[in-house]
Structure 1
Amino acid sequence: MFRFILVCIVVVGFLILSIPILLAEWVIGKFNRRAKDISSLRIVQAVFRCVLKITGSDIEIIGHENVPSDTAVLYIGNHRSFFDILLTYVMCPDLTGYVAKKEMEPIPLLSNWMKYLHCLFLDRTDIKAGMKTILTAIDKAKSGISICIFPEGTRNKNESELEMLPFHEGSFKIATKSGCPIIPIAITNSAEIFEAHFPKIKPAKVIVEYGTPIYPDRLPKEDKKRLGAYTQETILNMLKRHRESF
């Protein structure tokens, strides 16, 4: 329980103490939007690294060199743990907005930071509102801001992480309409940090692999039509390979 309590102290403490930082970032943004965006990114990455350090987990990153440095991308990952966000966000080389559930938007301070970081809030119960969010994500990708989404739609609570929930094909319009490549991310064993023994946080061996970019316009017509399933198969193959080491 000690790690859980310490993580709560760090997160809540940061949110409260960051009120003047939020104000300072707002002022910076009035003069230099890019400087504000980058400083917000680096501040939150530093906090996330601190939280991951507290968990005591052994985190192995594979294939991060596959992420292009000259274009926005659409990160697509499997989703088993709250820590998936932290594990991937600390590796973002540039501005990246995460697509989160609408229920997080009313949370004070947290939602302020999320908006600073170009995160979007997806209403899973309203198709029209959901499509509007996807269109906003497309515009962000066109403007050079990467997007990360977990297209299972929610955390996968199946017994095996190899039993993924179906990927929502609509998520992939972000790539097809903006022209950005897809970076498949396979996150192995992340639920062992927290969800597997809630409310305790325990050290775990976690592997995060970034696959080679998928360019939708270069795929055969058949695969382009089932882009979600194609990407999911790519991630599943990476997960299967890593599960052998556990």
Structure 2
Amino acid sequence: MIRFILVCIVVIGYLILSIPILLVEWIIGRFSPEKKDISSLRIIQAVFRFILKITGAKITVIGEENVPKDTPVLYIGNHRSYFDILLTYSRCPIRTGYIAKKEMEKIPLLSTWMRYLHCLFLDRKDIKQGLKTILTAVDKVKSGISICIFPEGTRNRNKDELDMLPFHEGSFKIATKANCPIIPIAISNSANIFEAHFPKISPAKVVVEYGKPIYPDELSKEDKRHVGEYTQNVIREMLIKNKPLTEK
């Protein structure tokens, strides 16, 4: 319970104390938007790494060399925990925006930071607005900003993490329209940090594996038509392979 309290203190404390930082970042952005983007990214990454240290999670990272350092990508991951965002965002090499649910746009300060980081808010109930968000994400990628999305659409609460929810194929239009590689991310055992024994935070063994880039245009006609299913199978294979690493 102590870890949970400490994480809450850090999150709430940072959001309040970061108000002057937001102002400084805004001023920097007036003169150099890209410098503001990079500094905001590094600040949040440092905070996320600190929070992960508090959780005591033992994190194993595999395949990070598969992530391009000089070109934007579409990150696709399975989603079991709120901590999936911290686990992945803290390792992004270049500017990266996440696609989050519309409800998060209402949270003061947090939503401001998310906009600074090029995050987009998806209204899952409005198809027209959802398409608009996807097209905005395409523009982000074309401008050099990676996008990360968890295409299950919500946290998967199934008992077996291999039992993933269907991937929404619409998410993959970001890659096909922006002509960028897809980086599959398999996140193993992250629910055991928090969700599996709410409200306690436990030092779970977590594995984050980055698969080899998937280029939709290089897939067979059938796989390209169902690129979401294809990517999900790649992630499932990594989850199966890494399961023993979370049990040692």
> What amino acid is the match of 2:83?
F
Detail structure 1 runs of 4+ shifted over 4 Å in the superposition: none
Paired residue for 2:14?
Answer: 14
Paired residue for 1:50?
Answer: 50
Q: Distance in 2 between matches of 1:44 and 1:60?
A: 21
CA RMSD in angstroms comes to 0.5
Paired residue for 2:86?
Answer: 86
Q: Distance in 2 between matches of 1:41 and 1:217?
A: 31
Q: Distance in 1 between matches of 2:20 and 2:91?
A: 26
What per-residue deviation string (whole Å, max 9, x for no partner) do you get for residues 46-66 of structure 1? 000000000011000000000
What per-residue deviation string (whole Å, max 9, x for no partner) do you get for residues 78-119 of structure 1? 000000000000110010000000000010000000000000
Paired residue for 2:32?
Answer: 32
| Residue 167 (str. 1) matches residue 163 (str. 2) | no
Q: Distance in 1 between matches of 2:117 and 2:171?
A: 19
Task: Provide the secondary structure at the position in 2 that maps to 1:12.
Answer: helix
After TM superposition, the score normalised by the length of structure 1 is 0.99
**1:69 offset after TM fit, Å?**
1.6
What per-residue deviation string (whole Å, max 9, x for no partner) do you get for residues 12-50 of structure 1? 000000000001100000000011000000000000000
**1:70 offset after TM fit, Å?**
2.0
Q: Distance in 2 between matches of 1:88 and 1:60?
A: 12
Paired residue for 2:141?
Answer: 141
Task: Provide the secondary structure at the position in 1 that maps to 2:7.
Answer: helix
Q: Distance in 2 between matches of 1:57 and 1:222?
A: 39
Paired residue for 2:111?
Answer: 111
**1:8 offset after TM fit, Å?**
0.3
Paired residue for 1:225?
Answer: 225
After TM superposition, the score normalised by the length of structure 2 is 0.99
Task: Provide the secondary structure at the position in 1 that maps to 2:106.
Answer: coil
Paired residue for 1:77?
Answer: 77
Q: Distance in 2 between matches of 1:105 and 1:90?
A: 21
Q: Distance in 2 between matches of 1:239 and 1:208?
A: 9
- What runs of 5+ residues in structure 2 fail to find an aligned partner? none
> What amino acid is the match of 1:150?
F
